[in-house]
Amino acid sequence: MADKLIIEGKSKLKGVIDVRGSKNATTPLIAATLLTSEPCVLKNLPLVEDVRKMLEIIKKMGAKVEFIGERDVKITAKNIDPGKLDFSLINKMRSSILFIGPLLVRFRSLKISQPGGCVIGARPINTHLDAFARMGVNIESFDLKKNGSRSFNIYHFKAEQQLKGRDIVLDEFSVTATENILMAAVLAKGKTVINIAATEPHVQDLVIFLKKMGADIKGEGTNRIEVRGVDSLSGAEHFICYDYLEAGTFILMALATKGEVCVKNVPIENLKLFLSKLKKSGGKIILRENEVLVKPTKKMVLRKVQTMPYPGIPTDLQSPIGVLSTQTEGLTLIHDPLYEGRLKYLEELNKMGAEIVVCDPHRAIINGPTRLHGTKLDPLDLRAGAALIIAGLTAEGTTVIKDISQADRGYEEIEKRLSNIGAKIRRIKN
């Protein structure tokens, strides 16, 4: 059974909280270390479950993983065997899909199970499959029964020759597809052009690391990236960027609870529209160099929030924004066009006394301010886990989050860090 969180609401949050390294940047960086047999060093590692699982997967393949500091890891993938991929671990996390690009371009043959991850709606991998097929890869899928009755949906990728650079048009602004193709293209033959490429900060961080390894890439940060394949890559050292999504979560938490919190290590450049929206809505936010001070805010009016690909308001911050909307004045329209399951957490907020109408899988109207009351809650995905923690801190009485494993995937020791700024929150281990 998973651990629980017990939260006593209405505590005043006050103090300083540090943002850690980006989870969404770290997982592709770990995958990228498989592109070379030379040692790579990643610094500023967030110690969260998704990162631990990624490291465990590459260790089982034969990579040498050494922690050379609390948050610094040295990875040497000289003697790895993709045949030792642990399907049971891959099946639990979406980011495991990022192993396809580096392993395929290095070994030309790979069997991998369907990646898992958050329950936020359909997350097909067709964009990845179409791109790899364009690069000369044959792809088959089949079911494999393992460990008795457990069945895995398996993809078999096989290239008869070195992968070939191609002009690729993605069907959507897919972050993981952009990252996967980038990692395959750096060692492919010729030039690859990725059109409709994602521009998120973690994509740009991956490009910085690949360039340090010797990759030839142009156009990062735009929707058209050019990659010229090279013969080999060397090891490199890289400081992982800070997590703009975690920073945004803490800022929204302070606003919803009317706290006074200084959030440090904030990549303000990556949150410009988000921060502008909050300030224009009445949020008392003071921007400093690499930090944001949130002052107690009595009245905010949001009206409408629509998530968009970067540099728009991130879909990963939509859930915490939904909680904040229960405490702002009047009606707020939440529109998240990306995932049809991203609004399921609103059902949990209604259990707490929120006034929310879910119009369709992508839109909801939230009336505020409302008094939330503590109850037992079920988070369905990583960001919903963080949102329900905010709701528990905002509510009157006791809130029990029955499964905190989702939040653990992306937020390191969340209960300890929040306790340090005044939250009455504790973990019950199972």
pLDDT of residue 94: 81
The pLDDT of residue 57 is 96
Last residue of a domain, one of 239, 273, 294: 239
The per-residue pLDDT for 187 is: 98
Number of separate domains in the chain: 2
Find the domain containing 10 and state its range. 4-20+242-428
Neighbours of 152 (CB within 10 A): 18
Catalytic residue among 40, 118, 241, 262: 118
The set of residues, in sequence order, having a beta carbon less than 8 Å from that of 26 and lying 6+ positions away, is 42, 45, 46, 51, 54, 240
**pLDDT by residue (tens digit) across 302-345?**
999 999 999 999 999 999 999 999 999 999 999 999 877 789 99
**pLDDT at 143 exceeding the cut of 90:** no
Is residue 1 very low, low, confident or very high in pLDDT (cuts 50, 70, 90)? low
Regarding whether 387 and 266 lie in a shared domain, the answer is yes
Of 239, 271, 294, the domain-final residue: 239
Which candidate, 105, 102, 114, places its Cα nearest to that of 137?
105
Residues 218-227, mean pLDDT to the nearest whole number: 97
Task: Give the helix ranges, DSSP H, for 154-243.
Answer: 175-185, 201-212
Q: With a cut of 90, say whether residue 114 has pLDDT above it.
A: no
Q: What is the pLDDT of residue 150?
A: 61
Are 190 and 175 in a shared domain? yes
One domain, residues 246 and 339: yes
Q: Is the domain of 96 the same as that of 132? A: yes
CATH of residue 180: 3.65.10.10
Residue 118 catalytic? yes
Q: pLDDT tens digits for 51-104?
A: 999 999 999 999 999 999 999 999 999 999 999 999 888 887 888 999 999 999
The answer to whether the CB of 334 falls within 8 A of the CB of 325 is: yes
pLDDT in tens, 288-305: 999 999 999 989 999 999
Q: Could you tell me if 213 and 325 lie in one domain? A: no
Q: Backbone phi, then psi, for 12, in 5-degree steps? A: -80, 120
**pLDDT average, residue stretch 372-379:** 92
The answer, yes or no, to whether residue 398 has pLDDT greater than 90, is: yes
Same domain, 228 and 305: no
Both 146 and 121 in one domain: the answer is: yes
Query: Based on the domain organization, do 257 and 208 belong to the same domain?
Result: no
pLDDT digits (tens, 9 = 90+) for 10-36: 988 999 999 999 999 999 999 999 999
The pLDDT, as a whole number, for residue 119 is 43
* Residue 223 and residue 104 share a domain: yes
- Both 284 and 322 in a single domain? yes
> Where does a domain end: 239, 258, 282?
239
Whether 302 and 274 share a structural domain: yes
Whether the predicted pLDDT of 204 surpasses 80 = yes
d(C-alpha 170, C-alpha 125), whole Å: 12
% residues pLDDT > 90 (the chain):
83
Q: How many CA atoms lie within 13 A of 121 on its CB side?
A: 12
What tens digit of pLDDT does each residue of 145-181 get? 655 556 668 899 999 999 999 999 999 999 999 999 9
Same domain, 222 and 304: no
